[in-house]
Structures are given as structure tokens and as C-alpha cells.
Chains A and B, each alone.
Chain A
């Protein structure tokens, strides 16, 4: 049976109406706005944080001294310590709030996936071209499925990374001193963490890129900037940070020397 049949066979059909009535109390409605807002805002903050994060770890491209100088700078000024705690809290909050949209039952998920797949693959079974094309290719449903999947991977790998960084920043467990050091980061990454971090990076950039695009559309960014423009911005952000992230990982894994070390005379 193909996807279309799958959608039909696991059907949910609306019952007849229960008559006009407010769906929820005003108090509950207020709570729902708050959930929606917190879910969006936490996602937005996390995405913005990841951009800042990328530039901080990007300092490794200038060599180990630059990385250590920046890390220590953020620690002696007590920026790093509260940040790691707040980000962990936001990370969990976002996971809880965003997960409320994931269908609970397996058959609902199968239906959801089948529908998204059908819509996505439809582009191959339509052949319309030219200015009167009735086909607006649709990928966003399929992207949502992958946002959930990458979110699940991030929940595991991201939690691990955040706890590891928390231990690094707040305890003397790793390295010479309390705090993040280039030498320990490189040792850990080159010992094999590079694979986990590579996967985490891919998931983060995809999830954040699509998430920002969707957030903008949801609250009306589509009427200011055209959707095409937003899509292009999303793609640019994705590839830019993915490229930069992989470069950083290659250096941390010890596979290439810091490419910009010459700037500091290294």
C-alpha cells in the first residue's frame, strides 16, 4: 500500500458539531498564548545563542591561544557560568513546549509522515511548467518531520554536550584549571567526539534554520518579506553555519591546522 492509502486507512474524521461554544475558558486561552510564546521565544533565543556560540568556538580557527584567551575572558567576567545554566534550562523548556505539538500515538505519526511524504513527492508526479503552473512545490510539511527527528537527536547529544560544558566551566574535573581549555577540547574531540559533534552540528543547523523560517512565517514575517526571500535567508544561514561549524570541528579533531593562525603570527 502506498502513502496515500496509508493516510486514508488510519483516518481521523471529524464528528458532527457540538454546537457553538467557546472552546476553552479565558484563563486557559491565556495560558495557551503563553505556551506558544515561550516555545517560540525560547527557540529564537537558542538559535541566536548558537550563532554567538559559533563565533566563540570559531576562535579556534585563530589557534589555541586565541580560543583560551576568549574562554578565560568569558569565565573571569562570569559570563560563561550563568550562560551554561540558562541555556540548559531554555533547552529543556523548548523541548517540553515544542514536543506538545508532536502527535502522541504511533498511528497518528504514521499518518502525519505519510501525508508529508505524499505532498513532498507530488512534485515528481506533476510536470507543469511555465507561468500558468498550478503547482507550488511543497516541502515544509516534510521539513517539520525532520525538525522533530533532529530535535530528538539534539535532545540526547545536546544534553550530553551541555552537561559536559557545565562540568568543564564549573568544576576542575577536566584540564589544568576550572574552565574551558583548547587542549582538553581538542583531546576530547580528536579522541572520537568529533563524530557525535558532527551529527549534533548538522541537526542544530537544520533545526534552527527551518525553525527560524517557520517562526517568521507563523507570526507574519511572510507579509513583510516574501516567503521566497525568507527561504533564501534560511538556506544561506544553514549553509554558512554548517560550513563554519565543520571547519571548526576539523580543527578541533586535529585533522587540519588552524587556518587563520597566521593572523596572530602563529
Chain B
């Protein structure tokens, strides 16, 4: 079987350079067996254009740096095999984040702001006592918390979300996943009533209009549909069952 010749159409723009204008640049490359986009992009940078900007670190879908729009879908470049793509591969940076240049975006600022907005850390019930015996946790609950913690903050869900793309204050799927994680955690001091003010509004779970794109594109296959249904039900319960 002869190797395919792949055409890469890559978005080029350097916001720092006043001369630079957004445009698509074409590169061609012979496909190799089991070639990932990570490999392809590195080959292009080494052999064809050393100025091409894109982010990579772990190349094994753990660090979450290489999220980009691949043929119209946000996904991790390191996890994407070129054999899964058509002959022409269109690459754009993730929308909803600040563009650093070409395919590189600043997800860190976004996630930092989101984490501060939702208070994405355990609010301790009591000061940590290193000598005390650790409180046991139910296996199922521990597994559920672990499942939420699998989020690598790559930003694919944020980029795929229509709402996050038009409303910068929206906590977005990644933010809802964070909220659900701390809401479930019995070590966290915040009550349903405390959470209610964060969750039950248009920047929280009710900003979500059920587009389901986040769930469909999540490279870690997190159950994001269940996350937002869970938050909705908790908000409803707080509104009607508890006196605020």
C-alpha cells in the first residue's frame, strides 16, 4: 500500500506582530504508519517551517497542552492518528481562549479564572491534623470523585461549547465538572446552600443549554452530561427542599 500524501491546512497568525494577518498555510507530508498529529506537526516544524507555533508536552493525553481544532472538532493532537483523518487536515487553535500564536492558545488564564470563580479547592471543615486517622470514604464516592479528577484541563469542552464561546463568564463544562467534584466531596465544608449561589444562575449550570458537544468531544471521555444533570437536580433540590 502506498502512503497517502496528507495536506495540512494550518491557521497562521501572530497577534504580537502588527504585520501578521490571519491566514491558512498549506503543508504536505507523506503519511507514516501510526502517525499522530504530534509527530506530523513536529516533522513540519523541523523540516518545513521552524516558526510554526503549537504546544506539546507529554504526548500521551495527560498534560492537556495540545488541544486544537482538528477538522472542525476540538481534540488532543497527540491522541489523534492521521489515519483517522481525511486526506486534508485542517488545524485551527481552540476558540474561546486567548490566542498566543498559530495553534497555541492560553488555556491557563481561563482555567485559573474559572477555578477562582468556583473556588476549586477543598474548603477544609477543620484544620488538617497530620496525626489523626484519615476518615474513610465510601468506595463508590471515591470512584466518582476520581472520575471527575481525570479532567486534564485541555479546554476542548470549553472550545466546543457554544455558550462558553459567547459568554466569557460562563463556568463551562470544565467548571461544572470541578463544582460537581467538590460538591460530592464530604471533606469540603461548603453546603448545598453555599453552592446554590454559584451553580444556580446563567454563569453556572443554567447557562448550559444542553448542546452536548462537551460530552462528545471530551478526549478523556468524562461523563459531562451526567455532571450537568446532577448539578441541575442538586440546584432544584436546594431551591425547593431547603430553606436558604
A residues neighboring B (CB under 8 Å): 2-5, 7-9, 11-26, 28-30, 32-37, 101, 103, 108, 111-112, 115-116, 118-119, 121-122, 124-128, 133-138, 140-141, 144, 214-215, 217-223, 227
| Chain A residues within an 8 Å CB radius of B116 | 17-20
With a CB–CB cut-off of 8 A, which chain B residues contact A24? Answer: 197, 200-201
Say yes or no: B209 contacts A101, CB within 8 Å. yes
Query: Are A32 and B200 CB-contacts (below 8 A) given A12-B167, A135-B84, A136-B216?
Result: yes
User: A2 CA to B200 CA in the complex, in Å?
Assistant: 36
User: Contact check: which of A29, A111, A134, A223 meets B75 at CB < 8 Å?
Assistant: A134
21 cross-chain CB contacts under 8 A: A4-B90, A8-B11, A16-B112, A17-B112, A17-B115, A18-B116, A21-B117, A23-B169, A23-B203, A26-B197, A29-B196, A29-B197, A29-B235, A36-B206, A103-B166, A112-B165, A118-B69, A119-B217, A125-B85, A125-B88, A128-B83
Chain B neighbourhood of A28, CB < 8 A = 201
- Give the complex CA separation of A44 and B143 in angstroms: 35
- Which residues of chain B have C-beta atoms less than 8 A from A16's C-beta? 109, 112-113
Give the number of residues in B that approach A within 8 Å (Cβ atoms).
Answer: 72
Check: B149 CB closer than 8 A to any chain A CB: no
Q: Which of B39-47, B49-57, B93-101 lies on the face that meets chain A?
A: B93-101
Residue in B closest to A218 when the chains form the complex, CB atoms: B210
Which residues in A have their C-beta under 8 angstroms from that of B217? Answer: 119, 136, 138
Distance between Cα atoms of A155 and B198 in the complex (Å): 33
Q: Considering the complex, give the chain A residue whose CB is closest to the CB of B74.
A: A119
Determine if A23 and B201 form an interchain contact, defined as CB atoms under 8 angstroms apart. Answer: yes
Contact of A115 with B162 at beta-carbon distance under 8 Å, contacts A17-B116, A26-B244, A135-B73 already known: yes
Q: Which of B86, B98, B162 contacts A126 (CB 8 A)?
A: B86
- Most chain A CB within 10 A, of B165, B169, B203, B229, is at B165
Instruction: Identify which of A4, A35, A215 contacts B69 (C-beta below 8 A).
Output: A4
Given contacts A18-B113, A29-B197, 18 further A-B contacts (CB under 8 A): A8-B11, A12-B165, A14-B96, A14-B97, A14-B110, A14-B114, A16-B109, A33-B206, A36-B232, A115-B95, A119-B213, A122-B72, A127-B84, A138-B73, A138-B160, A140-B212, A144-B209, A218-B208
Check B169 against A14 for contact (C-beta < 8 Å): yes
B115 neighbours in A (Cβ, 8 Å): 17
Question: How many contacts A-B (CB < 8 Å)?
Answer: 207
On whether A5 and B201 interact (CB within 8 A), knowing A23-B117, A35-B206, A118-B72, the answer reads no
Q: Report Cα–Cα, A222/B229, bound state, in Å.
A: 9
**Also in contact, A138 and B203, with CB within 8 A (given A17-B112, A29-B197):** no
Check B165 against A220 for contact (C-beta < 8 Å). Answer: no
CB distance A30 to B72 under 8 Å? no
Given contacts A112-B166, A116-B162, contact A14 B113 (CB under 8 A): yes
Pick the contact of B71: A32, A101, A125, A141 (CB < 8 A).
A125
Q: How far is the CA of A89 from the CA of B24 in the complex (A)?
A: 51
Q: Mark B15-49, 1 if CB is under 8 A from A, else 0.
A: 00000001010000000000000000000000000
Is B124 in contact with chain A by the CB < 8 A criterion? no
State the CA gap A127–B6 with chains docked (Å): 13
Q: Which residues of A contact B193 (CB under 8 A)?
A: 26
**Given the complex of chains A and B, what is the CA–CA distance between A254 and B81 in angstroms?**
58
Residues of A within 8 A of B197 (CB): 22-26, 29
User: Which among B198, B201, B208, B233 has the greatest number of chain A C-beta atoms within 10 A?
Assistant: B201
Instruction: State which of A34, A103, A112, A138 has its C-beta within 8 Å of the C-beta of B212.
Output: A138
> Which of B92, B114, B201, B232 interacts with A218 by CB under 8 Å?
B232
**In the bound complex, do residue B162 and residue A23 qualify as a contact, i.e. CB atoms below 8 Å apart?**
no
Complex partner residue of A219 from B112, B162, B212, B232, CB under 8 angstroms:
B232
Say whether B62 faces chain A, with CB atoms less than 8 Å apart: no
Q: How distant is A148 from chain B, measured CB to nearest CB, in Å?
A: 10
Q: How far is the CA of A118 from the CA of B73 in the complex (A)?
A: 7
Q: How far is the CA of A3 from the CA of B232 in the complex (A)?
A: 32
CA distance A119 to B69 in the complex (A): 10
